[in-house]
Structure 1
């Protein structure tokens, strides 16, 4: 039983990382789900890489907000409504998770993280 406690604790922590945004978290979705939302809903596509990365290619219509610059003011400039649907990506999926957590902590309620552009199978633009 003592060996099960660390496992159960880790499982509990992992279950709290995604899912419901009502508790200040964000949802992780697939790139296919992100593309479907882009095609069928009004969304803000948020690229949280650096300027030079964005300039080398990004998802059409994406807005740049580097992960390291996100605070209440910079987020409000790009995402004026806290209930806007925001789809967040970076290069490989690490910074987008961090950025999504920060946005959720700032009170944004519809944050969807979908990984990195390095595996994005759809169109990009310079």
Structure 2
């Protein structure tokens, strides 16, 4: 009986530990918004606009005040360029694929307020060159 109780206690601790980890991981969810929602947030809040395209793409036209961090450099440079993991970050690329990848990568790295608004191809507002 004593052995059974010890096994039950170990199992309970192990399962509780897993549940705690899963809850922490699930607190931040991937959020997709459209260009209109992104524009409204940009116009009314203090946000970081993150462009995850290449330098060449960025130079050809980007959203005003956007910070460039190519998706290929997220793992190496995010914490340097984006030190506040609770800052509101709105992410875009050309068509929406890289922004989704970058958003999910940042969430896995512990960023808590990340929004993917897709590609600049569907951005109907002004861009700068």
- The normalised TM-score by structure 1 is 0.80
Contact map agreement 2:28 2:113 (CA 8 A) in 1? no
Structure-2 residue corresponding to 1:109: 112
C-alpha displacement of 1:64? 0.2
Pick from 71, 74, 91: which aligns with 2:77?
A: 74
Cα-Cα RMSD: 1.3
- Cα distance in 1, alignment partners of residues 33 and 120 from structure 2: 14
- Cα distance in 1, alignment partners of residues 52 and 37 from structure 2: 19
Structure-2 residue corresponding to 1:97: 100
Structure-2 residue corresponding to 1:56: 60
- Cα distance in 1, alignment partners of residues 45 and 30 from structure 2: 18
3-state SS of paired residue (2:121): helix
Structure-1 residue corresponding to 2:45: 41
Q: Which has the higher helix share?
A: 2
Larger Rg: 2
- Cα distance in 2, alignment partners of residues 22 and 44 from structure 1: 23
Q: Verify: 1:87 aligned to 2:90, yes or no.
A: yes
C-alpha displacement of 1:23? 3.2
Q: Structure 1: any 5+ residue segments left out of the alignment?
A: 1-20
C-alpha displacement of 1:119? 1.1
Structure-2 residue corresponding to 1:124: 127
